[in-house]
Structure 1
Amino acid sequence: MNTKRILWVLVFIAIINSMGFGIIIPLLYPYGKKFGVTDHTIGLLTAAYSIAQFFATPVLGSLSDRFGRKPLLVFSLIGTCASFIMFGLANSIIMLFAARILDGLTGGNISVAQAMVSDISSPKERAKNFGIIGSAFGFGFVIGPAIGGLLSKFGLKVPFYFAAGIAILGVLLTLFFLKETNKNKTGKSPFKKNSFSFVSLYTVLKMPVVGTAIFTGFLLTMAQFTMLIGFQTFSVDELKLNPTQIGLFYGGFGLSGILMQMMVPAVKKVISSQAIILLISTLFCLGMMILAGFATGIILFAVSIGIYGLFNGLRNPMLNAIIADRNEGNEKGEVMGVNQSYASIGQTLGPITAGLITAISIHSIFFLASFYILIALLFSIRLITKEKQS
């Protein structure tokens, strides 16, 4: 098996997949307004994707354990393509919600890609390879909104059809250039009763190291998406930035995380323990988020958010490597799916709790995110203990 070729094909697929998702981010609200979407229902429209993904990703991961990664990745990309076409053809708010739910239900791209990386990587290379894939997804998310904004000049429907087109490109790449990586597929579910059970969402958390890592990731994801609400409201209401400036600001935040993910091999040479790297990065994230809460001007805010983005970039490569290292059996896809499910629910709960606490002040959003990071810090300390015990 040509590991490097598979990895770089996955990188390209990750870029076009996340770019397609990023393209529609700045368009959801202005496009949806034509069908009655308001500033209140846009949150529900955004959450519909994450909630559907919460239930779907472990099922898709389990199916990839049984039947192989490649067919499930193709299925996920086709579902993504269909959802973008539905957006372009939409004539009601119901169709918009149906499109988001379809994309969430077939949105197993990330967990299946992570399982493929786990399949082809040795324990020594896992953190580096997860960092590469994470950088690819991050790069797509950064450039996607910019492309969506440019294409929208030709009509609000154009970006959706363009996103559908690059999803089809991902399907073709997967079919013709990507080899199956799951050599242990059995046609049977690795769990009892030979079928996936949502009880796994709970039982996986009881796994000493894996469960702690997944819950830590859930907390850090919830903190990040809480922060993003504060980032948007603070940038507009306090800093008075225009959409272009906000886009550049957000792009800088995304790029800082990508740069750190590219430095994972160098970081691993200095600190071999992935759990300790996670602990240090979480500590920096906590400090910077508290600092952002006290910021009143753009300089302190930009510095704190920039450094937060830098160390937040280490989160997923370390957590994914820890989970994969403790999950060498035939259930990699399902466990990665469960991990993505908790990330999805974190993406939903973060903005909801941030919206509730804005009644106090904009700054309180950053302190709420700090609270989530503090709990994650305690679990990351526990993770080091669990790793030593195992």
Structure 2
Amino acid sequence: MNFAPKRPREAAFVFILITVALDMLALGVMIPVLPKLIAEFEGGDLRSAATVTGVFGFSWALMQFLFQPVLGALSDRYGRRPVVLLSNLGLGLDYIFMALAPSLGFLFLGRLISGITAASVATANAYITDITPPEKRAGRFGLIGAAFGVGFILGPAIGGVLGDYGLRLPFWAAAAFSLANALYGFFILPESLAPEKRTPKIVWRSANVLGSLHFLRSQPALAMIAGALFLSYLAHESLPALFVLYTQYRYNWDPGTTGWALAIVGVSQTVVSGGLVRPAVARLGEKKTLAIALVSGALGFAAYAFAPTGAIFMAAPPLIAMWGMANPSFQGLATRFAGASEQGRLQGALGSLRGVSGMVGPLFFTQIFAGSIYFGAFPGAGYFIAALLLVASLMIARAAIKRSTVQAP
């Protein structure tokens, strides 16, 4: 029985924000305890636990890469509501499964399942596209980014506190967040995609990685925008991959200093995503906002790479935070190249690009850092490469905009 109203309303957008925030909160809650639980299963062997943790992270990103297009295609066929709700339900049940995992193998299986069910972010983005006029989409995608930030800021803090009382307690908390979200959405969330706008059948050729990439190539300008977005995604992977290692090596930061610095970075990015994207796009348009964001990000990464002291290094996070306007602008532009019945596939395809960067980026940047230390060369090489990636992203994006017929709002 469907208790949701027939027409989308503002409560639906609020629910999507809550959904994304709780999903990220649930993921963040596990960050402080998952490696410790793995180490416990490995008999306290930290070296082995580090290797297994890396495998867990790669596998989770791989599931995102493979299943974002699938869930996007399913939402184009059956609507956004059932995909979002079932994903929340599945994620909650999976956290319970991991909380009860009797062995490392079961924990790994649970992590794979969470990678699949957490792939509903693409469907959430498609939902936003359904209920938002094109000229306002970038602003709302910015609010989605802010919800991401809130989840990742609060999640690890909550997980750390709960983890002191038991390594499995954060998993139960994550399950409670996701199941409460599913129950709330069952009564509140309306369907955003009208039946007449849905695809008559699932387009399976687009519901896989190769098919989704082919979909992005359907229009040259869209392919170029997707390529520019991928370079931006790849540059972003330098932040989680290098921040702790780089600041410890170059500035001799202790864990407490690193934690405060990461909190400042997270808060800065959340403020920009939630408070600056909408007015910037409204005043400047998506194209100029995108250019400002990418230039700011490139300057921020260059500052990271060359900062001689930790104090100067911490002057760069505001520039990196300004770069947070790029992703909503990219997505806002991309949505104009897809019809109402294709937004799920589009968001799934863009999500797959993020999955690729999540698999490739950490390995790429950590090896660059390791090599630079080994040869006694430039320790900021990884961040400098990230800056170059954003310069390349800007050049490709400008070429795509010139080639397209998309008009700035």
TM-score, length of structure 2 as denominator length: 0.89
Find the counterpart in structure 2 of residue 102 from structure 1.
113
113-122 or 38-47: which moved more?
38-47
Does the CA-based 8 Å contact 1:66-1:185 persist in structure 2? no
Does the CA-based 8 Å contact 1:21-1:144 persist in structure 2? yes
Of the three residues 258, 268, 288, the one matched with 1:246 is 258
**What is the deviation of 1:100?**
1.6
Q: What does 1:291-330 correspond to in 2, within 5 Å? A: 291-308=303-320, 310-330=321-341
Of the three residues 87, 91, 101, the one matched with 1:90 is 101
Q: Distance in 2 between matches of 1:91 and 1:238?
A: 41
**Identical aligned residues as a percent:** 25
Deviations 1:220-244 (A, max 9, x none): 1111112322211023333333333
User: Once superposed, which parts of structure 1, at least 4 consecutive aligned residues long, lie more than 6 Å away?
Assistant: none
Of the three residues 363, 367, 381, the one matched with 1:364 is 381
Q: What does 1:27-176 correspond to in 2, within 5 Å? A: 27-36=33-42, 37-176=48-187
287-296 or 1-10: which moved more?
1-10
Q: 2:394 matched to 1:383? A: no
CA change 1:298–1:161 in 2 (3 A) is same
Match of 2:28, as an amino acid?
A: G
Find the counterpart in structure 1 of residue 296 from structure 2.
284
Does the CA-based 8 Å contact 1:285-1:312 persist in structure 2? yes
Find the counterpart in structure 1 of residue 4 from structure 2.
none
CA change 1:368–1:227 in 2 (3 A) is farther
Q: Distance in 2 between matches of 1:336 and 1:163?
A: 25
Find the counterpart in structure 1 of residue 239 from structure 2.
227
**What is the deviation of 1:211?**
2.3
Unaligned runs of 5+ in 2: 1-6, 43-47, 374-378
Find the counterpart in structure 1 of residue 3 from structure 2.
none
Q: Distance in 2 between matches of 1:196 and 1:295?
A: 44
Find the counterpart in structure 2 of residue 13 from structure 1.
19
Q: Distance in 1 between matches of 2:178 and 2:64?
A: 18
CA change 1:108–1:389 in 2 (3 A) is closer
Match of 2:79, as an amino acid?
A: G
Match of 2:277, as an amino acid?
A: V
Find the counterpart in structure 2 of residue 263 from structure 1.
276
**What is the deviation of 1:270?**
2.8
**What is the deviation of 1:140?**
1.0
Match of 2:387, as an amino acid?
A: S
Of the three residues 322, 326, 348, the one matched with 1:337 is 348
Deviations 1:195-236 (A, max 9, x none): 735432221231233322222222111111123222110233
Q: Distance in 1 between matches of 2:235 and 2:95?
A: 28
CA change 1:60–1:2 in 2 (3 A) is closer
Match of 1:139, as an amino acid?
A: V
Does the CA-based 8 Å contact 2:222-2:337 persist in structure 1? yes
**What is the deviation of 1:298?**
1.1
Q: Distance in 2 between matches of 1:373 and 1:351?
A: 17
SS of the aligned residue for 2:33 comes to: helix
Does the CA-based 8 Å contact 1:35-1:91 persist in structure 2? no
Does the CA-based 8 Å contact 1:276-1:384 persist in structure 2? no
Q: Distance in 1 between matches of 2:129 and 2:341?
A: 12
**What is the deviation of 1:388?**
4.0
Does the CA-based 8 Å contact 1:123-1:325 persist in structure 2? yes
Match of 2:350, as an amino acid?
A: N
170-179 or 201-210: which moved more?
201-210
Q: Distance in 1 between matches of 2:254 and 2:38?
A: 21
Match of 2:384, as an amino acid?
A: F
**What is the deviation of 1:96?**
2.5
Does the CA-based 8 Å contact 1:275-1:383 persist in structure 2? no
Does the CA-based 8 Å contact 1:226-1:368 persist in structure 2? no
Does the CA-based 8 Å contact 2:269-2:324 persist in structure 1? yes
TM-score, length of structure 1 as denominator length: 0.93
Q: Distance in 2 between matches of 1:27 and 1:211?
A: 39
Q: Distance in 2 between matches of 1:77 and 1:312?
A: 30
Deviations 1:270-307 (A, max 9, x none): 312x1232122111111221121112311111112332
Of the three residues 248, 268, 287, the one matched with 1:275 is 287
Q: Distance in 2 between matches of 1:83 and 1:312?
A: 34
**What is the deviation of 1:46?**
0.8
Q: Distance in 2 between matches of 1:133 and 1:352?
A: 27
CA RMSD of aligned residues (A): 2.0
Find the counterpart in structure 2 of residue 373 from structure 1.
390
Unaligned runs of 5+ in 1: none
SS of the aligned residue for 1:180 comes to: coil
Of the three residues 194, 200, 207, the one matched with 1:188 is 200
**Count of aligned pairs:** 387
**What is the deviation of 1:192?**
7.5
Q: What does 1:193-208 correspond to in 2, within 5 Å? A: 196-206=207-217, 207-208=219-220
CA change 1:357–1:58 in 2 (3 A) is same
Q: Distance in 2 between matches of 1:122 and 1:269?
A: 13
Q: Distance in 1 between matches of 2:83 and 2:12?
A: 16
Does the CA-based 8 Å contact 2:15-2:189 persist in structure 1? yes
Match of 2:361, as an amino acid?
A: G
CA change 1:78–1:149 in 2 (3 A) is same
**What is the deviation of 1:53?**
0.9
**What is the deviation of 1:2?**
4.6
Q: Distance in 2 between matches of 1:243 and 1:250?
A: 10
